[in-house]
A and B are shown apart, each in its own frame.
Chain A
Amino acid sequence: MPGAVWLAQRPPPLPAAVAVAPAPVAVSASGVAATSAATPDEPAAPIRIGLPTLGTDAPVVPVGVDERGEMAVPDDVRTVGWYRFGPVPGTAGSSVLAGHVDDRIQGRGAFYRLVELAPGDPVLVGSAGGSARRYLVVDVERVDKTRLPTAQLFARDGPPLLTLITCGGEFDRAAGHFRDNVVVHARPA
């Protein structure tokens, strides 16, 4: 099946020796840090995201809506956007972070390997105060873009959740975009 071959061409996960140590202590080079006694600051706009099991660490910037009414994902594929009209991480509802998966000119995006996350994997979200807010992945799914349940994914009430979004699945060359969104749901640890 074309989709399966496409995935097979992507690089394998990092060997275990390079993987970041598991919780409760997880530190990455650029400062998304969590200690066993981490107490997040007052909820504030996120500025970094860490995916320790993938060795991913990326800056986060607030973003809004583009001229088509879609979330304005940062053009720089190595930067992740946080939907600024939704909840700040740590408050009620779904905080949404999205990044471009890949690009012929720029190369692989910060969320290139998002689809490799597994339930239980940690996600660290840092804000300007310094200490990180820790989440655990609940599930990872691929959804046809035309059926993305945006009202749920961008809910501003209910339990505080973290939602990570990128693209995936088959690349539709005629249309110039991927067919699916990859959606990771995470809850506070």
Chain B
Amino acid sequence: MRRLTLALGGVLATVAALAAAPAAQAQETGTVYVVHGIPNTPVDVYVDGQRAIDDFAPGSSQGPLDLPSGSHQVALFAADASDGSGSPVLSANADLPAGANVTLVAHLSESGQPTITPFVNDVSAVPAGKARLVVRHTAAAPAVDVLAGGSPVISGLTNPNEKALEVPAGTVPAAVAAAGTTEPVIGPANLDLKEGTATFVHAIGSLQDKTLNLVPITVSNLHSAPSGVPSGAPSGAPSDPAVPGWLLVTAIAGLLVVGVSARRIRAGAGS
């Protein structure tokens, strides 16, 4: 197992269940999810030297977890290690901006090396009637296409990249296939994409070792209201008479004027 230390620079970091932040201050925090995508490697996750996740199983996720913003160190140790001393399987050091929403994915690179990749989660508002679907290629496999109902909706996605779509809310039979093909290497599996949610699907594992799988994380309450309620006249006109009210009043007034004038003329002629 490779031991890899990463400096993730200005981007984000990890994990979990620290002791509660002091209540008195309005402490700035970020939100973190973690995905374990390295097959056959249960780990314990340490954040800033404290064990945060115990026996983190491959193919699972943790979160949302609120962490104070700022710099953190995360290390993954083999789950049978007694504590956080010794050499971790993977470690990373990065900054978590206040208000950020991120997922840290421990996964295999395209060539099968263990690594950690941070992804920013788009949790902005989703248009009314729709769901956001984000697919992340974090598996030891070449480029893939993502199929919905058998047709590609994402083409040529490579490790460690992601692609986002906004789709009508509903249940989608989804599959992952080698780019340019339609024979599934993962799935098909039904994805329940509820309106107003964002679902982040992580393809993990190894094609060669036949351990490919999907780890989905759904964030809810991102819905938007419809922009209006068009409840007038579907044919483009109401049923009441075509003449608008004010024209009717003017027409009646005009007839009265004509009537008076006519009387005067008749009176004049007859006098």
Contact = CB atoms under 8 A, between A and B. Distances in A.
Contact of B169 (A5, A85, A99, A181): A85
A5 B248 CA distance: 9
From DSSP, what is the main secondary structure of chain B's interface residues?
Answer: loop
A101 interface: yes
Interface string A22-59: 00000000000000000000000000000000000000
A100 B234 CA distance: 7
A165 B236 contact: no
A111 B249 CA distance: 28
Interface in B119-170: 127-130, 169
B230 A177 contact: yes
Contacts of B233: 100-104, 167, 171, 176-178
Nearest to A180: B232
Contact of B245 (A5, A83, A102, A177): A5
Contacts of A103: 233-235, 237-239
Interface in B212-236: 221, 223, 225-236
A98 interface: yes
A165 B230 CA distance: 9
Interface residues on B, range: 20 to 34
Contacts of B128: 65, 69, 85
Contact of B228 (A100, A101, A145, A173): A145
Contacts of B229: 70-71, 73, 96, 98, 148, 150, 165, 181
A184 to B, nearest CB: 12
B230 to A, nearest CB: 5
Contacts of A101: 231-233, 238
Interface of B: 127-130, 169, 195-196, 221, 223, 225-241, 244-246, 248-249
24 contacts: A4-B245, A65-B129, A69-B128, A70-B226, A71-B228, A71-B229, A75-B234, A77-B234, A85-B196, A96-B229, A101-B238, A103-B234, A104-B233, A104-B237, A106-B239, A145-B228, A150-B226, A150-B227, A150-B229, A171-B244, A173-B237, A173-B244, A176-B236, A177-B230
